[in-house]
Structure 1
Amino acid sequence: MIFQRKIIINMRDISRKISPNYKTIEGQIQDEFEIEKSVFITNIKYVENEEDAIAFIEKIKDNYKDANHNCSAYIINEKPEIKRYSDDGEPQGSAGLPMLSVLEKEELFNLVAVVTRYFGGKKLGKGGLVRAYTKGVSDCLDGKITYRKVFIESKITFDYNLLGIIENFLNEENYIIIEKNFLQNVSIDLYIEESNFENFKKRLIDMTSSNIEIEKLDKIMLYDK
């Protein structure tokens, strides 16, 4: 389990989502390939909302304003779920919809994909275009998919005589230790998946006969590959 960075959560944003934990990518990725002298450039970006997705599409269109097509698709993790796509002048159903289908198949959220095409002089046909735009998104995503999960940042404080059993418990469960402090008492800061926090709390209370202080400090988002 690899955690890349910490993101403080806006709880209002979380309440609007279908699920607080979901598959996506981190940042922005790009890929490029050529078919029958047509050049396809894929740009995919993580976005927080539909406004960000639209802004990214416009930015890519501006960056590649000399291109023949800038086809797009996005899915936003909100209630209700937002899905949009555009063929941007390609035959209907040959570009944006296949791109969206890749995002749906991978069960991805909060992503916007734009595939730019520079026409090479040879028509690919609708089937060829579907394959090309599918490839554009699929290849770009290969190896880049990650998970965003909600974690509780917690601090536990206890007497030294409990250190052994608590460390064994934390190591067995593979919790993410942030910091340990050995002062008058032992304190450990750590991350626990939100869905597991109540079980974590109950087990610590049971094993220490309630001789432990458990604080909930914050809710955060972590990338998990």
Structure 2
Amino acid sequence: MKTIKEPVQSEIVIKKSQFICSLFPTRTKSESKQIIQKINEQYSDATHNCTAYIASDGEGFDDDGEPGGTAGKPMINVLRKNELHNVTAVVTRYFGGIKLGAGGLVRAYSKSVMDAVGEAEILEIEEYEVYTLIFEYSDIKAVDSEVRNNSLEVIDKQYSDKVLYDVVSKDNRDIVKIFEKYSGKIRTSFKNKQFLEKI
């Protein structure tokens, strides 16, 4: 699977209508909705702000007043065709006075997203199970050793009264089993699934 590395924007003009496509990397539906709200505020004077997103916890699209099926659905189809995940697309339209018809709208919204995807830097991603390890500071060396020896990847570290590592396995090793021998000292629990850049 794939995603985009950073936000990108492209613009096309078709029969005097201006189409601005903004693409953003987003992990969740909540992030997508926040981005959409921000774009709606930024382009509050636009005729339409049509949207499509594919996140780790769901997907959706909206025609924002365009005829049903002529904007959001073609946009999400472009994302699917390009195997993109964790991405939000917003196409802002300023109407130029010439109607495009249903077919013309489908082509315009599709092209707008395709052009933006073409300008984006694409990353290969995979879905991993994320586990949280909770342990004492005195066990950092032991945990780091197990992480290295078992080809695990630490994607986040937190230091408070205890140490918390979020870890994933590069080759689907059973993380719980790896730390079974530390029962009582190192707590291991499933956190969530995330799409991450290939490691």
Q: Which of 79, 101, 116 is residue 92 of structure 2 equivalent to?
A: 116
The TM-score normalised by the length of structure 1 is 0.58
Counterparts of 1:221 and 1:123, CA distance in 2: 40
The aligned amino acid for 2:42 is N
2:77 paired with 1:101: yes
Which deviations, in whole Å up to 9, do the C-alpha atoms of 1:113-162 show, x marking residues without a partner? Answer: 00000001101111010001001111101152211346xx9546xxxxxx
Counterparts of 2:196 and 2:56, CA distance in 1: 17
Contact 2:36 2:90 in 1 (8 A): yes
Alignment map for 1:141-156 (pairs within 5 Å): 141-142=117-118, 144-149=121-126, 155=148
Aligned to 1:43: 22
Per the TM alignment, residue 87 of structure 1 is displaced from its structure 2 partner at its CA by: 0.4
Per the TM alignment, residue 77 of structure 1 is displaced from its structure 2 partner at its CA by: 2.0
The aligned amino acid for 1:75 is I
The runs of 4+ residues in structure 1 deviating greater than 4 Å are: none
Alignment map for 1:54-65 (pairs within 5 Å): 54-65=33-44
Larger radius of gyration: 1
* Secondary structure at 1:56 match in 2: helix
The aligned amino acid for 1:59 is K
Counterparts of 2:20 and 2:195, CA distance in 1: 30
The TM-score normalised by the length of structure 2 is 0.65
Aligned to 2:161: none
Q: How many residues align?
A: 145
- What is the root-mean-square deviation of aligned Cα atoms in Å? 2.7
Aligned to 1:181: none
Alignment map for 1:181-220 (pairs within 5 Å): 194-195=170-171
Per the TM alignment, residue 104 of structure 1 is displaced from its structure 2 partner at its CA by: 1.2
The aligned amino acid for 1:136 is S
Q: Which of 106, 110, 113 is residue 137 of structure 1 equivalent to?
A: 113
Give unmatched runs, 5+ long, in structure 1.
1-21, 157-191, 199-219
Per the TM alignment, residue 193 of structure 1 is displaced from its structure 2 partner at its CA by: 7.4
Task: Select the structure with the greater relative contact order (CA < 8 A; seq sep ≥ 6).
Answer: 1
Counterparts of 2:75 and 2:195, CA distance in 1: 27
Aligned to 2:163: none
* Secondary structure at 2:121 match in 1: coil
Give unmatched runs, 5+ long, in structure 2.
129-143, 150-167, 175-193
* Secondary structure at 2:171 match in 1: helix
Per the TM alignment, residue 196 of structure 1 is displaced from its structure 2 partner at its CA by: 7.4
